[in-house]
Amino acid sequence: MRRYERLEAQADQLEAVLMSHKIHATIEGGTVTPRLVRFRLLPGAGVKIAQIARLSEELALALGSVSCRVVRRGENVHLEFPRSDKRVVRLASILEQARPRGDATVVLGLDADGAPLLMRLSSPDVAHVLISGTTGSGKTALAQTMIASLLETHSVSELGLVLIDPKGRGYAPFAAAPHLLLPVATTPDTALDALTWLVETMQRRDLEQITLPRIVAFIDELADLMLVQGRTVELALTRLVQRGREAGVHVVACTQKPSASVIGSLVKSNFPVRMVGRVTSAEDARVASGMAGSGAEQLAGRGDFLVVVHGLAHRLQAAYIAPEEMALLMARLSGQLVEPAPRSHIVPQIRPRFDMREFLTAQLRRVAGE
């Protein structure tokens, strides 16, 4: 059976399920993306969306799918099903279609309509991002994609990176990136040092009214770091997310469950953008997304995310960069020349544990080929 014939048959099945429950609705087309099939449903007069949402399990069963997510967009209701023949969304292919133009713009992946989805961290509506989801949801892989897209599209005179990786694995492939302002922090102590340095740098740049080059800090396993270092890390992070945007400092943090008891309500309230992967329950979905009825518990995992901005959730299939692609990227970047002058805005005055002068000198010599 050809694809369009199969989709027509599936649409008829869905309408039949709804009709059997006395819900009058018509499917009027849809969208097929590499990881998702999305039907556009036009409810009849008097039909409540909650009635359709309560039938999500029956609708999924009718198509033999693992889940069905019901979401409203304007006057239409969309029924979203994960594809059985999923395809990987490659970062390289998206960069060929839509290459970001600097100013801390990152590639995320494809939206629910299959179009490239990019995000400018320097936008007042973004500034800082919180990524959450269970193990296997793709949090670290999404962060890797964001880092790689920044490295691909920004020179060292435009962007500096700070990577905090308590697991010591997620950000290790980027340890030789010329954009790094500090060595990758892999212990609680070095993570605290990195955050302290970021706060000092933010304050200095704020006084001098400096916003360029942008500094982006990526933090993996934030909840674990908070449990180990406690109040000290929370205070430093809170200051960064409250005042960082004015100084051109942005934070992207990953955590399994961003509950207020773990990372603090003050920190949560300063992350305007949430990216939520698969979670285990509707309550976890509410906590992670900051909104009720997001349906994050019905996501398929492995890069299937919701991007929540201003109380609206948008489906995202995160782009993926393979380890060998990251290695090629690092090899290519190692041949780039560094312009040291702009780093006068970034080089720290004080380092409690890192010998920054020695580290930055080695970085500049290595990249410049001296």
pLDDT at site 336: 54
Q: What is the pLDDT of residue 351?
A: 38
Class of domain 3-82: alpha beta
Spell out the alpha helix ranges (H) of 31-180: 49-53, 56-63, 91-97, 139-153
3-state SS class at 346:
coil
Residue in this structure with the two tokens 């500090």, named with its chain if needed: 182
Residues 324 and 331 sit within 8 Å (Cβ to Cβ): no
Cis before residue 213, ω within 30 degrees of 0? yes
Burial class (CB in 10 A: 0-12, 13-18, 19+), 34: middle
Rounded Cα–Cα distance for residues 71 and 52 (Å)? 10
Render the burial of 327-344: b for 16+ CB within 10 Å, e for the rest.
eebbeebeeeebebebbe
Architecture of domain 91-328: 3-Layer(aba) Sandwich (3.40)
| pLDDT for the residue 339 | 44
278 vs 69, 134, 195, 337, CA distance in Å? 12, 6, 28, 41
Over its length of 370 residues, how does the chain's per-residue pLDDT go in tens digits?
A: 577 788 999 999 999 999 999 999 999 988 888 888 999 999 988 899 999 999 999 999 999 998 899 988 777 899 999 888 888 999 999 999 888 877 899 999 999 888 999 999 999 899 999 999 998 899 999 999 999 999 999 999 999 999 999 888 899 999 999 999 999 999 999 999 999 999 999 999 999 999 999 999 999 999 889 888 878 898 999 999 999 999 999 999 999 877 777 777 777 789 999 999 998 888 888 888 888 888 888 888 889 999 999 888 898 999 999 999 999 999 999 875 444 434 444 444 333 333 433 444 444 444 444 4
E-assigned strands of the chain? 25-32, 36-43, 69-73, 76-82, 105-111, 116-120, 129-132, 159-164, 214-219, 249-255, 273-276, 304-309, 312-318
The answer to whether 221 and 167 have CB atoms below 8 angstroms apart is: yes
Q: 25-66 pLDDT, tens per residue?
A: 999 988 888 888 999 999 988 899 999 999 999 999 999 998
The closest of 112, 114, 239, 221 to 168, measured between CA atoms, is: 221
The pLDDT assigned to 74 comes to 74
pLDDT for 169 equals: 87
Q: Are 144 and 173 in contact (CB under 8 A)?
A: yes
CA angle 215, 220, 226 (to 5 degrees): 105
DSSP secondary-structure letter at 189? Answer: H
Q: How much is the pTM?
A: 0.83
Give the start-to-end residue ranges of the domains of the chain: 3-82, 91-328
pLDDT the model gives residue 1: 52
Please, are residues 120 and 147 in contact by the beta-carbon 8 Å criterion?
A: no
Provide the pLDDT for residue 21. 95
